[in-house]
């Protein structure tokens, strides 16, 4: 007898490729080592302060961490000029998105997002019985803000998801423009403003700190410039009522003691983070140069990755497969108009040299 699956069990609409780890792809390809340029991690790792805090916390790992993450939430609140009860901490943005969907999206209710955007939001919406309405990207690979607003009005969208800067395109909008979107949304809509890559964007373009707007839930992560992707720590900033609703869904010990300690120490590593952001910018410049030399268009990026346009889905798939044969993992967006593109994370200097050598060979074979 086969038991019926829930929508979450079916994970409708999500590309299986998005769920396969680079190490599994390497195993299937018979590779002993793989260069990870497909997951937008930091090649520079955690700050020294975070590593020291992590080692100390590991010695105490026989005890659960603080289920409320009070010390970490207090530090985040100070950083952003909000109250501690306007901050929630979870196991990365993926975890927090699940809380938001469960708390604010009823069964069969509509959510709106960009077509081909961050797949985790899609998984949660389908998994908890909602309907996801997708708005294609503009031809310049920017999010169609007006399209999001129009779809929210047409379908009564309860949630509108905006990654800003965007994944997978790397584009961003100044907050003043996003504020116009916010004013254009239906009164009942809640904007999820995913700021995973915000620290790579110009300071003046970011969401302003200070008391939260009740129409917005901001999401941040320690997985990018802080180099803690493997520890899974993220946070939400929102009005007290929204945070209380999210907190009711929190697992008791969802964020480990070492993860909390490393994240807290990372907040005191501003010099390290500035250096990482600068080195990532150098890597993006390398990718722009490489694109020019190979006559492959690239899209402007304020993230730790670059989107290369190979002109067709078939060529992009050939590039992904060809680079994998060279031991390099990258990803491509699944949906038009971006399905002819390949997204490549900024690696270390040595990883970028390996990529350049391999990409030149792959492009010659197309």
Structure tokens at 150: 């129009």
Structure tokens at 204: 């003046």
pLDDT at position 124: 93
Per-residue pLDDT of the chain (366 residues; tens, 9 = 90+): 677 777 666 655 555 556 788 888 888 888 889 999 999 999 999 999 999 999 999 999 999 999 999 999 999 999 999 999 999 999 999 999 999 999 999 999 999 999 988 889 999 999 899 999 999 999 899 999 999 999 999 999 999 999 999 999 999 999 999 999 999 999 999 999 999 999 999 999 999 999 999 999 999 999 999 999 999 999 999 999 999 999 999 988 999 999 999 999 999 999 999 999 999 999 999 999 999 999 999 999 999 999 999 999 999 999 999 999 999 999 999 888 999 999 999 999 999 999 999 999 999 998
pLDDT at position 40: 97
Q: How far apart are CA 43 and CA 276, in angstroms?
A: 9
Domains parsed from the chain with CATH numbers: 15-44+271-365 (3.90.1150.10), 48-268 (3.40.640.10)
Structure tokens at 294: 């190979």
214 close to 242: Cβ distance less than 8 angstroms? yes
Helix (H, G, I), strand (E, B) or coil at 253: coil
Q: How confident is the model over 74-103, as pLDDT tens digits? A: 999 999 999 999 999 999 999 999 999 999
Q: What is the DSSP string of 141-199?
A: S---HHHHHHHHHHHT-SEEEEESS-TTT-----HHHHHHHHHHS-TT-EEEEE-TTGG
**Among 202, 133, 135, 213, which residue's Cα sits nearest to residue 173?**
202
Q: How far apart are CA 248 and CA 263, in angstroms?
A: 22
Please provide the distance, in angstroms rounded to a whole number, between the alpha carbons at the two ends of the chain: 48
> Residue 342: in which H helix or E strand, if any?
strand 341-345
Kindly tell me the sign of the dihedral angle through the C-alpha atoms of 68, 44, 285, 353: negative
Residue 85 class from Cβ within 10 Å (0-12 exposed, 13-18 middle, 19+ buried)?
middle
∠ CA(327), CA(332), CA(334), 5° rounding? 140
Residue with tokens 């509108």: 160
Radius of gyration of the chain (CA): 20
3-class DSSP string for 28-43: HHCCCCCEECCCCCCC
**Among 346, 250, 249, which residue's Cα sits nearest to residue 35?**
346
Q: How many CB atoms lie within 10 A of CB 98?
A: 22
């Amino acid at each position: 007898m086969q038991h019926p699956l829930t929508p979450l069990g079916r994970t409708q609409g999500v590309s299986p490729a998005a769920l396969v780890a680079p190490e599994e792809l390497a195993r299937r390809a018979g590779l002993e080592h793989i260069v990870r340029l497909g997951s937008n991690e930091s090649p520079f790792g955690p700050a020294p302060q975070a590593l020291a805090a992590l080692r100390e916390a590991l010695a105490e790992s026989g005890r659960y961490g603080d289920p409320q993450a009070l010390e970490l939430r207090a530090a985040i609140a100070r950083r952003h000029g909000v109250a501690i009860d306007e901050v929630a901490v979870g196991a990365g943005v993926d975890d927090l998105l699940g809380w938001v969907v469960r708390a604010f999206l009823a069964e069969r209710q509509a959510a709106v997002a960009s077509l081909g955007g961050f797949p985790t939001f899609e998984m949660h919406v389908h998994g908890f019985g909602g309907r996801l309405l997708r708005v294609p990207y503009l031809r310049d690979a920017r999010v169609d803000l007006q399209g999001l607003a129009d779809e929210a009005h047409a379908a009564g969208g309860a949630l509108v998801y905006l990654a800003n800067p965007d994944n997978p395109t790397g584009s961003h909008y100044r907050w003043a423009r996003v504020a116009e979107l916010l004013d254009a949304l239906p009164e009942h809509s809640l904007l999820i403003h995913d700021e995973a890559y915000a620290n790579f964007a110009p300071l003046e373009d970011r969401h302003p700190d200070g008391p939260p707007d009740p129409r917005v839930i901001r999401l941040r992560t320690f997985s990018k410039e802080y180099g803690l992707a493997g520890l899974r720590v993220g946070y939400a900033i929102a009005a007290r009522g929204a945070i209380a609703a999210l907190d009711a869904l929190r697992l008791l010990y969802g964020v480990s003691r070492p993860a909390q300690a490393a994240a807290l120490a990372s907040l005191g590593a501003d010099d390290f983070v500035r250096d990482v952001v600068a080195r990532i910018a150098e890597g993006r410049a390398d990718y722009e140069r490489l694109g020019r030399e190979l006559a492959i268009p690239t899209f402007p990026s304020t993230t730790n990755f670059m989107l290369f346009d190979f002109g067709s889905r078939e060529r992009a798939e050939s590039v992904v497969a060809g680079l994998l044969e060279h031991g390099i993992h990258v990803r491509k967006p699944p949906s038009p108009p971006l399905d002819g593109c390949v997204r490549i994370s900024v690696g270390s200097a040595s990883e970028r040299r390996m990529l350049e050598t391999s990409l030149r060979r792959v492009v010659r074979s197309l």
